[in-house]
Every structure is written in structure tokens, then in C-alpha cells.
Amino acid sequence: MRSDAAAQNALVAAARDGDVAAFERLFHAHHVRIYNLMVFMVGDRTDAEDLTQATFVRAWERLGRLRSAEAFTVWLHQLARNIARDHLRSRRTEQQRTSDNWEQGGAIEKADLSADGQPEAAVAKHETSQTIHAAVRSLPEHQREAILLHHFQDLPVEAVAEIMGVRPGTVLSRLARGREALRRKLGPLVEPGA
Amino acid sequence: MRCDEARDNLAESAVGGLDEPTRSALQAHLEACADCRKEHGALLATGRLLDTTELLRPSRDLWPDVAAALRGRKRVRAPWWQLEWIPHPRWAIAGATAAAAAAAIALALFLPHPAHAPQIATATDEDAALFARWNAGAALEGGFADADAFAVLLQETAAAHEEAGNS
């Protein structure tokens, strides 16, 4: 949407000039997606919350280095990806945790479950989401990242390629391999007539 | 296209990664093969499922901590050459190189050149006068004329004549 893009560009320009209120609106527009990227990259929801916050603090510090407001979304995802990778590198040097913190807080908030007033349908949807999340988590890193950025973050292939530092053809290939793997893992959920 | 070839291309087709000839061949196969069509449908359904999967939500409001961290935080104001915005750095480097080359050529073409080469100073000591005389003689004999040497020779000849006249 062009008007959405123009509005975001205006917010980025204002935030770059030190407007915290504008930056807060950018935060609320993007933090859930950045949080999901973190969760699926680091596999720990508490760490993902901390890393999401760290991403926005770093974005605030470095916003002055961003020339083009149009590049904000891709730039923010690149920052988040780098922070997640740094975290994973430092964590590998520590003692490996015996279990991750994936289920803490539940995959979907309770408020979401009752939002449409149909608890059974909501529970079924919740279970489906958990199944999909688990399947995505089990993918190899490159496929998981491509799937996350393209399907969960709604980013076009070209933007995913820019974030991952690869050619669009490579992204398509990773998406295809990931799609095959997920189709096998999700089995009955994606059979025709399911 | 056979089934085994089709199966190799189903996932690429589902993500929009096939070239046109392969896509057309696969489409023709899918119209004739129910098994491959079913598998292709499952791959497309996987994509739709991913697109509509609900996002996870943080367990708490993350903004207050971010807002607190921003207070007094030093912000980076980078000089223009460090801006993180150039989408295609290789093009930018190529452009800068071309601009620098064009500027160098323009300077070479349009900067004012010295009107004349530096003049050779007239010999003032005896050794220089001897050299000039020798050079003038060689030039006369060999047909090569060194204007400065001639000038020195004529100057000295005139001076010698003047001295002889005075004496």
C-alpha cells in the first residue's frame, strides 16, 4: 500500500530526527514480526523478547546511518538477523541448554483463542499453529529463515534475498526445499480436502 | 514431461521459481496426471497454511523497556560515505570510479598550461661559455642549430669585438 509506505517513510524521517513518538509507532508496527523472527531463529521465547528489544535499541542508535526511509523494513530485519546470529554464536560458547523455552507463555495468547467467540475452532486453530511452528522450527537454518521472512514476515523474494545476502534464485530454491519438507511434515493438514 | 521430472519441479512451481518453458510443460503434465496434480495441490496448500499461520506474541509489553533504554542513548551520525543505504554498492563504487576518471580527464584538458617552457638561462661563467661555443660549433658542422647556444656564441663574439674595439 503506497499510503502505508508513505506514512512509514514519514515516521522513519521523524524518528531519524529524534522523535521518540514516531519511533514508538514504528516499534508497534514491526515488533511482533521481529519477535517471531527471533523466536524461530534462537528457539527461546524469553531470549527472543530480549533480542527484540535490543534490535529496536540498536535501530534507534543507528537510524542516523540510514539514508533511505524506504529501506527501513529490510534494514531492520538485517539488524535483527545480525543480533540473532551474534546471540547464537555467543550461546554456542556457553554450556548448551538442556531444554529450550519454546512453550513458555503458550504459542498463542489466551486472548487470541477466544477472540472470535468460538472456543473449539480457536483451540483447533491454536493446535494447527503449534504444529506448523514445530514443523518450521525443525527445518535447516537457511530454509527456515527463507520461510520465516517470506511467509511469516510477508516480505517479497527480492527483500528476503537482500536480507539474507543471497540472490533471489537462491531464496526461491530454499523456499522450494523448505516447502517440500513442510509438506511432508504437515501431511494430513495439507492434503486436498483437508 | 514424465512424472519423475514433474515431481522434481513441483516445489519450484509452487514458489513461483520455474522458467516459462518448464512451467508450461509442467502445467500440461498436471492436466493429464492426477497424482502429480494432487501433490502440487498439497504444496500450494502448504504455502497458504504458512501465509495464514498466526504469529506468536510476546508475553509482555516490550516497549517500556525499549523506551527506557533510549533515554540518553548516544545516536550515531555517520558521515555520508558510511551511510547504510546504498542498495547496490558495486554500482556505487563503479560510479564513483567513473566520476573520478572523468574529473581527472577534465582537469587535464581544461587546466591552463604554462605559456612557454622555462627559458634557458644565459651562460654566465667560463665553463658554460666554452660549452656553448663547442655546442654552437658542433651545430654548425652537423647542421643542428641550438638557438640558446647560438645566442651565447653571438653574445660573446659581440662582447669580444667590443672589448677589442675599446682596447
Q: Does residue A4 share a domain with residue A74?
A: yes
Position A98 scores a pLDDT of 41
Q: Please judge whether B56 and A27 are an interchain contact, meaning their C-beta atoms are less than 8 angstroms apart.
A: no
Domain of A157, in residue numbers:
110-188
For residues A178 and A124, membership in a common domain is answered with yes
Q: Looking at the structure, do residues A80 and A147 belong to the same domain, yes or no?
A: no
A99 assigned to some structural domain: no
User: Does some domain include residue A102?
Assistant: no
Give the DSSP H or E segment for A65.
none
CATH number, domain containing residue A153: 1.10.10.10
Q: Tell whether A129 is within 8 A of chain B (Cβ).
A: yes
Predicted TM-score of the model (pTM): 0.66
Does a structural domain hold residue A136? yes
Residue A105 lies in a domain: no
Do B41 and A192 count as a contact with CB atoms less than 8 A apart? Answer: yes
Domain finish residue from A34, A69, A94:
A94
Question: Residue B151 has what pLDDT?
Answer: 67
CA–CA dist B67, A53 (Å, integer): 9
Q: Say whether B47 and A179 touch across the interface (CB within 8 A).
A: yes
Cβ neighbours of A18 in B, within 8 Å: 75
Domain boundary among A41, A62, A94: A94
Rounded mean pLDDT of B5-11? 91
The answer to whether A147 and A176 have CB atoms below 8 angstroms apart is no
d(CA A182, CA B43): 9
Domain assignment present for A104: no
Query: CB–CB of B54 and A108 under 8 A?
Result: yes
Instruction: Select from A65, A94, A123 the last residue of a domain.
Output: A94
pLDDT score at B154 = 67
Instruction: Give how many domains chain A has, as a whole number.
Output: 2
Max Cα distance, chain B (Å):
129
Q: Residue A15: which CATH number? A: 1.10.1740.10
d(CA B79, CA A126): 49
Higher per-residue pLDDT: B163 or A159: A159
**Is residue A116 a part of any domain in this protein?**
yes
**pLDDT exceeds cutoff 70 at A119:** no
What pLDDT was estimated at residue A26? 95
Instruction: Name which of B85, B68, B84, B76 is nearest A61 in CA terms.
Output: B76
**Cβ of residue A164 closer than 8 Å to a chain B Cβ:** no
Which of A57, A108, A176 minimises the CB distance to B73? A57
Clarify whether residues A70 and A114 are in a common domain: no
* A178, part of any domain: yes
For the ranges A38-47, A174-183, B33-42, B106-115, the lowest mean pLDDT is seen at B106-115
d(CA A42, CA A36): 10
Which of B46, B77, B81 to mutate to test binding with chain A, by most A CBs within 10 Å of its CB?
B46
B87 with A189: Cβ contact below 8 A: no
Q: Are residues A7 and A88 in the same domain?
A: yes
Q: Is A156 on the interface with B (CB under 8 A)?
A: no
Q: Which residues of A touch B49 (CB under 8 A)?
A: 128, 132, 186, 189-190
